[in-house]
Amino acid sequence: MEMEGVIRMKKEYTGEILYQEKMYEGCYRMVIKTDEDLLRTSQPGQFVHVKINQTGDPLLRRPFSIHRIDLAQGTISLLYAVVGKGTTIMALDLPGKKVGILGPLGTGFSLPDTKPHHVVLIGGGLGAAPLLFTAERLVEKDIQTTVILGYADKHRAMLEGDFKRLGVKTYISTEDGSVGNKGYPTEVLEEMISSEKIDAVLTCGPEIMMHKVAIICEYAGVNAWVSLEEKMACGVGACLGCVVRIRDEAGSHYEKACKEGPVFKASEVIFHEN
Ligand SMILES: Cc1cc2nc3c(=O)[nH]c(=O)nc-3n(C[C@H](O)[C@H](O)[C@H](O)COP(=O)(O)OP(=O)(O)OC[C@H]3O[C@@H](n4cnc5c(N)ncnc54)[C@H](O)[C@@H]3O)c2cc1C
Ligand code: FES
């Protein structure tokens, strides 16, 4: 099927930027007023594909995790870092600007069938973005939730207040020790997993961190899910630009990060460094 045809089958919504919050230099939280249908159908771990300018420049949409859904305010929030052309334009966007939002896309976090008692979320840097929405949904379901957030330093350490407001036990670690534990979030997980009962671990962040989480959880016999960040063009399963290798009985096969993912069972992912 033609790529445009597949895109047309997905719902495109119009959003209006309400405001942007500067988290630190080069990182912003964009709050967008949009259609209730998009807000109600979004699940944690899914993403939206954003058309930044109606002029068609940049041509390709940009994928962003759903950071927050606020049904009462009618808003969706994105948390993003400025890395290239598209995000540079976004950072300059003013309230009132219209953006196109395709979504919700992909397969988000799923939890074990039986009600888990304790779920641990691990975010590295911008990987914390989808975990706030995830934590909100877990808390709504009355599931004990702990979050471990890892950052380079105190200037980039964000979202502690947002998670604490939900009543979620929150650990921060920084590589230079300028705030929280000194080291990586995986070190906090290693300690926790040996002393507490954990039913599931959900993680998003640099691949090297998620791979480490996968190894720790495999060794401890805890189910884990990772949210992969592959380069995406169409975002809807038509271009095969985002395939990842998934382990199976015959060896491996490819799945599309934008459709079957971005969330995969950690034990099934063949990470790039392998
Ligand atoms: C499922 C998913 C969720 C994401 N969620 C977030 C998020 O919550 N916050 C955040 O800051 N970033 C997130 N990203 C990464 C974000 O999409 C890129 O940083 C962004 O597309 C860069 O656009 P740019 O025009 O500024 O950069 P450029 O480098 O100029 O982009 C050029 C092209 O490469 C693509 N591209 C570049 N980097 C990435 C990347 N890391 N992943 C995918 N495509 C990329 C762009 O879409 C574009 O087509 C996510 C990526 C994926 C796949
Ligand atoms: S981005 Fe086109 S198939 Fe995934």
Q: What is the pLDDT of residues 26-77, one digit of tens each?
A: 999 999 999 999 999 999 999 999 999 878 778 789 999 999 999 999 999 9
From 7, 64, 236, the mutation candidate for ligand 2 (largest count of ligand atoms within 8 A of CB) is 236
All CATH 3.40.50.80 domain ranges of the chain, comma separated, are 118-268
Q: Is 244 in the pocket of ligand 2 (CB under 6 A)?
A: no
Any residues with CB less than 8 A from the CB of 65 and at least 6 apart, and which? 45, 46, 47, 78, 79, 129, 130, 133, 204, 227, 262
Quote the ligand 1 centre to 259 CA distance (angstroms): 16
Domain 118-268 coded CATH 1.10.357.10: no
Q: What is the dihedral of CA 254, 1, 228, 197, to 10 degrees?
A: -80
Any residues with CB less than 8 A from the CB of 39 and at least 6 apart, and which? 69, 70, 71, 74, 75, 76
Per cent of the chain over pLDDT 70 is: 94
Quote the ligand 2 centre to 263 CA distance (angstroms): 14
d(CA 227, CA 210): 8
Instruction: Quote the pLDDT of residue 225.
Output: 97
Atom of ligand 2 nearest to the CA of 257: 4
CATH class given for the domain over 3-105: mainly beta
Quote the ligand 1 centre to 165 CA distance (angstroms): 29
Instruction: Quote the pLDDT of residue 3.
Output: 47
CB 174 within 8 A of CB 180: yes
All CATH 2.40.30.10 domain ranges of the chain, comma separated, are 3-105
Record the tokens describing residue 206, joined without a space: 């640099």
Instruction: Quote the pLDDT of residue 57.
Output: 78
Write down the pTM of the prediction. 0.94
